[in-house]
Structure formats: C-alpha cells, structure tokens
Amino acid sequence: MSPMHSPTSSGVTLLACVGAVFLAGCGGPGGDTSLFPLDKGHHWIYRVATELENNTVQREEMTLSTLGRVDLDGQPAWLRRSDSGANYWLRSDDTGVYRVASKSDIEDEPKPDPARRYVLKRPYAVGTTWQSPTTAYLLEHKQEFPREVRYKHPIIPMNYVIEAINQKVETTAGKFDGCLRVKGQAQIRLFADPVVGWRDVPLTTLEWYCPGVGLVRLEREEPGQSTFVSGGRIQMDLAEFR
C-alpha cells in the first residue's frame, strides 16, 4: 500500500494504502479479490512494531474492517476503515485491485486518487509490475523543522513487482500457503551530511498476500544513518483475522 497509506502512527500509515470471493455476478466486487478481500464483514488485527535508529521501539495494534459496497461518484466501490479513522474506497476488475479515494476523520469528503492506485496488479504472476505513490513515513531531519521528511516530499513514486508466488508465511494468526510476495522500491534524494553531501536514500517495502485473507505481513525499511537524517523500519504481523 501500503499500504497504504494517513493515520497518526507510522505503521498504521503504511498500511493504508491493505476471502476467496468471486461475486461479480452477485453485486460484489469484480475480478479476483481472493488475495485482497473487499466484501463486507472482515476484520484484521495487526501487531505493528516501529524501530527507529535512535534505538526506540514503538509497539501497537491496528484494526482494519471491510464495510461493504457503497456508492462513490455514482459507481460502486468497496469501503475499508482503520481504527485510526482512515477510510479507503477500492474497486477490482480484470486489471487488479486498486484504490480510488481516501478520507480521514478531519476531512469532509473523500479525496479521489488522481489515477488508479493499485494494491495488486494482475496477472498475479512473477514479474508483474506497477507504480503507486508513497512517501517517507520514518525519515526525519535531525536539524530542520518540520523534522518529518514527508512534509517536504509528500509524493514519491514507488515501483512494485510481484517477486514470488506460492510462498509459505507464518504469522501470529497462523500459517498460510500459496501466498504472493510483492516488493516495492523507491528513493529520495536528501542532504546527508557535509562530507557525503546529497545522496539517494532507498525506501523498500515487502508485502505478503495470502488467499482468502489478504495482507498478512509487511516490512518497510527507510535507512537514514547519516549526520542529518535518521530513519528506521516497520514490521506488521497479522495477529487475528475473521
């Protein structure tokens, strides 16, 4: 995502832009949503660990829920909500699953995405690629204000690729088979220190999607490791699904 996407905590933000159902003929989402369920009534609880380069660790839980079909601009969409107050509208067709709008609790109306923001692009096979926007969730300036890099660089293009299929994944919620692993890579140019000068800082995301469940694990790396910039990593692990 993500994703995805922006709630208050780093781990929750990332997920934003996150059952075997084939309901296109029954008023449900079109396409194959088995790797990212959209139908109403699902709940995911994730354990999120945010490790910063100053040796601090923040642990929390995040809950996502599917609220079912709604109308958005006269067309059906499927709504997800996080317990932090973020709402996401998604659609699915033969090209994959994609987000079309988002809204925080402080916004009056959904904010449309300017283009399809894919969560998963078809075909679900090794080598499939797409691009979606991201930002820096953990990178901070040590001697500037605001410290968060994302305020100066709110949109960074990230390139995604399906790296592997038929993966086995073990999480707190259990063991899963037949999973798909997605890798996202981006970079941002920042002034690191007076000696090194400017350098490209990599942003890397790994995501695992499993049939009937969806996202079960996410890892995000944003290494600062310089005089002027600090970063960290996020790990999300599925603790409960129903």
In 3D space, the residue among 62, 26, 2 whose CA is nearest the CA of residue 205 turns out to be 2
Whether the model pTM is above 0.75: yes
Per-residue pLDDT, 28: 62
Distance CA 61, CA 203 (A): 23
Q: Which residues of the chain fall below pLDDT 70?
A: 1-28
Per-residue pLDDT, 95: 96
- For every residue of 21-81, DSSP letters joined together read ---GGGTS--S--TTS--STT-EEEEEEEEEETTS-EEEEEEEEEEEEEEEETTEEEEEEE
DSSP 84: T
Q: Give kind and range of the element (H or E) at residue 10.
A: helix 10-16
Per-residue pLDDT, 230: 83
- Identify the three-state secondary structure at position 132: strand
Query: In DSSP terms, which residues pair with 48 in a beta bridge?
Result: 60, 236
Per-residue pLDDT, 142: 83
pLDDT, tens digit, for every residue of 43-72?
999 999 999 988 899 999 999 999 999 999
Token reading at 103: 């809204």
What the chain holds in terms of domains, given with CATH numbers, is 10-241 (2.40.360)
Per-residue pLDDT, 225: 81
Per-residue pLDDT, 31: 75
